[in-house]
Amino acid sequence: MINETKRNEDFDSTNLLIFLYKWRKPLLIVIIVAALGSWFFSCPWFITPKFRSTVILYPTSSSSVSKALLSDQSSKGQDLMAFGEDEQAEQLLQILNSNRIRDRIIQKFNLIDHYRIDSTSRYKKESLYKEYERNINFRRTEYMAVQISVLDKDPQMAADIANKIADLLDSTKNEMQRQRAYSGYKIVEAEYNSLKSEVEEIADSLVAIGKLGVNDVEYQSQALNTQMAIATMNNNKAAMAALQKRLDVLGKYGGIYMSLKNALEFKTHQLTLLQAKYKEAKVDAEENIPQKFIVNTGYKAERKSYPVQWLIVLVTTFSALFLTIIVIIMIEKISAYESHKKFHLS
């Protein structure tokens, strides 16, 4: 008899429809109170509404003007008009999360006052950075683009911050690359100027030797020897003396002339190659190019994005209902156990 009663009580407790009907009034009260309470406490009086502004962009495949436009060697990833891939997107995300951009945004929009951070606090920077990270985030989209998302109580401020971050992306990356490019440019410039001076010195030496009558050693040597043979046959001593003098000069400076001529040809070729690199390095050090393709710019949102009031009400109501059901089941179980214990003792 006792076991049958227990089974009936277990059945009554686990039968959902009967259970809900039995406790319909308390459960209905809980639902109404939870719904109204969650709605009330999620109103703007308690939770400041925030508006979201989003910028979506793609990285470029090439960040070097010289490689994309001036270099004769075309290679993959150097097309100025091509979209970047995973590596470039990861680089942009790392730059977006850098303190260079964060500190500029904080200063530009005076976020320490805008976020109402106590400027006298010992940990004001830590509080400011945490608030910044809560409201501003960056991620990759499912289409491999980079998304800049900004939440703020002022919709126009959210749009301005998102667009400013996108603008700073160009200047920040260009500044980082320019530091390295400028160092490379100065190295190439020094080498170019040094080689150019060497070429000019060799050219000046050839001009000086040319004034002595040495212009084309091979041709002049053949011509003078032919003339010397003719003068010797004619026993023209005056011509022989004059030709011998020229042959002596040619013999003295001919080797130097040929050496300088060969050196000039080699170094002129080197100078031509180095000049191309010098121009490329100068362009990379001085020119700025966009580092991104903007797909969507940030705009002033018309509806709030946070808090999602209906979701708060729904989750709170179901949570309260579930907890209430658990409590009622526990109460019923305890009551049934006490009844069974009293019956057994009697």
Domain endpoint, select from 259, 286, 313: 286
Side-chain-facing half-sphere of 35: CA atoms under 13 Å:
10
Q: How many domains does the chain have?
A: 2
pLDDT value at 338 more than 70? yes
Together in a domain, 111 and 121: yes
Over residues 313-327, the pLDDT tens digits come to 788 888 888 888 888
Of residues 85 and 248, more confidently modeled? 85
- How many angstroms separate the CA atoms of 135 and 120, rounded? 22
Residue-number span of the structural domain to which 240 is assigned:
191-286
Assigned domain for 100 exists:
yes
State the DSSP H helix or E strand holding residue 80, giving kind and residue range, or none if neither.
none
DSSP codes of every residue in 20-64: HHHTHHHHHHHHHHHHHHHHHHTSTTTS--BEEEEEEEEEBS---
149, 292: one domain: yes
Token couple for 151:
């939440």
The whole-number pLDDT of residue 138 equals: 94
For the chain, the C-alpha Rg in angstroms (whole number) is 43
The answer to the question of residue 248 being in a domain is yes
d(CA 153, CA 135): 10
User: DSSP assignment, residue 302?
Assistant: S
Q: Which residue has the tokens 């031509």?
A: 272
268, 296, 324 - which closes a domain: 296
pLDDT band at 7 (very low <50, low <70, confident <90, very high): very low
d(CA 227, CA 221): 10
Residues 152, 292 within the same domain: yes
Mean pLDDT of the chain: 78
Residue 51's contacts (CB-CB under 8 Å, 6 or more residues apart) are 151, 152, 153, 154, 155, 158, 300, 301, 303, 304, 305
- Residues 103-129: what's their mean pLDDT? 91
End-of-domain residue from the set 231, 258, 286: 286
Identify whether residues 57 and 119 lie together within a single domain: yes
CATH of the domain at 107: 3.30.1890
Residue 265 and residue 150 in one domain: no
